[in-house]
Amino acid sequence: MGKRLLPSWGHVRNTEPKEFTRAYRAEAEHMEVCRPEPGAIAAVMRGHICVHVALVVESGGRLKVLEINPERGARCLPLSQWQRDHNTVIYYRDRE
């Protein structure tokens, strides 16, 4: 997508909220808040804690969210469904 590669945080799981949020904050400082757009990172928040992240993609001319969940595996959801399923989502893109 022409974006910088993010470092691997593969050792961090959302079952470790402090570590997961620490990783989220480390990457968010290199990005800017935006509206949903292809390539944006979607961060699901509960208060000040990040509980899940996903990637916004375009498919069939529509915005969707690609997520990986240990219970459901990988899936691609319409943006409207994603937003319905999560109360607070902050979208980020790389600073240009």
Round to whole Å and give the CA distance between 73 and 22: 24
Q: Is 78 contained in some domain?
A: yes
Instruction: State the pTM of this model.
Output: 0.85
Q: Is 6 contained in some domain?
A: no
pLDDT at res. 61: 93
Q: Is 1 contained in some domain?
A: no
Mean of pLDDT values over 23-37: 89
Mean of pLDDT values over 43-70: 91
Paired strand residues for 80? none
8-state DSSP, 2: -
Q: Is the dihedral of CA 76, 80, 85, 91 positive or negative?
A: positive
Residues across the chain: 96
CA 68 vs CA 13, 14, 38, 73, 96: distances in Å: 12, 11, 17, 5, 27
Q: Is 5 contained in some domain?
A: no
Number of domains in the chain: 1
Q: Is 85 contained in some domain?
A: yes
In the predicted model, what is the mean pLDDT of the chain? 86
For residue 69, what are the domain limits?
Answer: 17-94
